[in-house]
Amino acid sequence: MVVFITGISSGFGLATAKLLSEEGHIVYGTVRREVEPLPKVHYFQLDVRDHDAVKQAVDEIIEKEGRIDVLVNNAGMGIGGPLEFATEEEIRLQMDTNFLGLVHCVYAVLPQMRKQGSGKIIALSSIGGLMGLPFQGFYSASKFAIEGYCEALRMETRSLGIKVVVVRPGDFSTGFTGSRLKVANEAALKAYPQYRNAIQKVEHDEKGGLKPEVLARKISHIINKRNPRNGYVVASLEQKLSVLLKRILPAKWFARILGSYYRLS
């Protein structure tokens, strides 16, 4: 299959590109900087926020391969801090990268997928797209946007032979932790003293989380499965339980549990 993956310089994207190329798929991926290339993987240096650059890359793939079978929208970033102290620039960076980046990729691949009558769009959301995470509010907002967008897209494209799958990782040990932008000014720390404890808990959980190869294997499974589910939660048993509790508990009860977990009181 011809697979287009965004954000393959590290973490999920790198592990997925490596696995899929080893399995014999034709893999194209995007990076924002120079990296040590993987064997048999084709690279585009671009930012998914650039609509024209994404379209040009997809057009090149189609011109060379004649089709595009799978989009894995992985590129993303995170901002941590009190919502009150996020700047307009930070908010736009968060939403433009995580959400509009997906939209740009879908716009680019959909015409070809419609033409060939088949295709899979795999979007990486997060369990933070199912519940608002304290001090990661705009990150959660970007992932909630992905959830709603993909739900609508799935219904619109079902009759066209296109599958839309959302993958929701929990805590993983990747470079995402170190690259997270964090509000660290004294005013924010003074106004929200619980922020320091919460972000320390987040980073502790991420560093002890699953390896990115676990998620890469799940994506391979989705690609090779004829009728994948609409969504998958890839996380520890504890985090899968939290997703279940979010569905079944009254909102106030769940908020207390989540607040206690992140040491907000």
Residues identified as active-site: 9, 125, 139, 143
What are the structure tokens assigned to 233, written together? 């939660």
C-beta neighbour count of 63 within 10 angstroms: 8
* DSSP classification of residue 160: G
- Torsion angle of the four alpha carbons 58, 59, 61, 62, in this order, in degrees rounded to the nearest 10: 120
Rounded to whole angstroms, the Cα distance separating 201 from 220 reads 31
Beta bridge partners of 31: 45
Q: How far apart are CA 260 and CA 258, in angstroms?
A: 5
Q: Residue 24: helix, strand or coil by DSSP?
A: coil
Report residue 82 as tokens.
Answer: 């009190």
